[in-house]
Structure 1
Amino acid sequence: MASWLPETLFETVGQGPPPSKDYYQLLVTRTQVIFRWWKISLRSEYRSTKPGEAKEIHEDFLENLHLQGQTALIFGTRILNYVINLCEGKFDFLERLSDNLLLNIISYLDLEDIARLSQTSHRFAKLCMSDKLWEQIVQSTCHTITPDVRALAEDTGWRQLFFTNKLQLQRQLRKRKQKYGNLRGKQP
């Protein structure tokens, strides 16, 4: 499966912690970890400093505690742990899927599983609450969606529509028709 991976597995940029103004780039390829830096300083002794770069193959990065420390300092321990996992060959293929593909997959889950999945990460929480997902779920569970129901869903949200019981739904549709019927009647 690793052959399905792109050449660049991960890339991020960041600025050093204050008072530093230095910029950093961390790039993880299939075989290397590349750590680059650019000194930004008004001091004359640093003006001619050239950008720097440290390249390590994955196995060497796992043993280089200094470079790991620099990575954690600049990008945080979460990024460091992710890079270590990549270097150890632990790839998160699910994280690489597009939102549209994930939404399609999630739409087949049971409601309890969607609720659990939403608690696993910020990305999945956002996807599990998205109107796009709930529109797919409503369309798969309802035989027909009338234009009035679609308009109500656009107003209130597809998730809200899904969890509304039939009696409440009929009441909301009646109110919506009255509201927009009254507005049309008042226009010249």
Structure 2
Amino acid sequence: MASLLPETLFEAGRQGPAPSKDYYQLQITRSQVSFRWWRISLRNDRRLNRPGMTNECHEDFLDDVNLHVQIALIFGPKILQYVTNLCKGEYDYLERLSDPLLLQIISYLDLEDIARLSQTSHRFQKLCTSDKLWEQIVALTCDTVTRDMKSLAKDIGWRQLFFTNKLQLQRQIRKRRQKNDDKEEVSTES
């Protein structure tokens, strides 16, 4: 399964904590951790500082407490934990799946499970409330999706369309048809 992973597992760049203007980059590949820094200063005595770089294999990184402290200060403890897990070989394969593939998988879940999944992360919250997902769910649960339903979904959204009961849905489609017919009559009269 690890062979399906790309060469670069994680990459992030960030400016150091205030008042520093220094810039840092962290890159995790399948075999090593690269930590780069650029010292940025307007003072003449520090202008000659050259960029620096540390490369370590995963095993060495796990033992390097100083680098852990630097990463936690610059990128935060969650990133440090994530990088540590990557170096231990604990990959989050679900996080690496593409959005279209995840939407396809989510569309087969029960509604309660979709609601719970949306509370796990920002990415899943965005996916679980997306119109693309609810369009797939409507297509899976309805026998036919009419042109009127698609038109109504453009206005109110697929999720709202799914949760609207059939009587209300029929009433809204009837109103839309009537408005369109009225507009056609006005345009033919003039």
Q: TM-score, normalised by structure 2?
A: 0.95
Deviation at 1:146, TM superposition (A): 1.1
SS of 1:112's equivalent in the other structure is: helix
* 1:99 partner letter: D
Counterparts of residues 1-188 of structure 1 (less than 5 Å): 1-187=1-187, 188=190
Question: How many Å separate the matches in 2 of 1:53 and 1:9?
Answer: 18
Flag structure 2 segments of 5+ consecutive residues without an equivalent: none
Q: Deviations over 1:135-188 (max 9, x none)?
A: 001011111111111100111000001111111101111222223333333344
Question: How many Å separate the matches in 2 of 1:40 and 1:175?
Answer: 63
Deviation at 1:62, TM superposition (A): 1.2
Question: How many Å separate the matches in 2 of 1:122 and 1:179?
Answer: 39
Q: TM-score, normalised by structure 1?
A: 0.96
Q: Deviations over 1:1-48 (max 9, x none)?
A: 112211111000000011111111000011111100001110111111
30-39 vs 170-179, which moves further = 170-179
Question: How many Å separate the matches in 1 of 2:21 and 2:184?
Answer: 60
Question: How many Å separate the matches in 1 of 2:132 and 2:169?
Answer: 20
Flag structure 1 segments of 5+ consecutive residues without an equivalent: none
The runs of at least 4 consecutive aligned structure 1 residues that moved more than 2 Å come to 178-188
Question: How many Å separate the matches in 2 of 1:184 and 1:77?
Answer: 62
Identity of aligned residues (%): 68
Question: How many Å separate the matches in 2 of 1:175 and 1:45?
Answer: 75
SS of 1:159's equivalent in the other structure is: helix
SS of 1:89's equivalent in the other structure is: coil
Question: How many Å separate the matches in 1 of 2:40 and 2:182?
Answer: 64
* 1:134 partner letter: W
Question: How many Å separate the matches in 1 of 2:90 and 2:149?
Answer: 45
SS of 1:82's equivalent in the other structure is: helix
Deviation at 1:58, TM superposition (A): 0.9
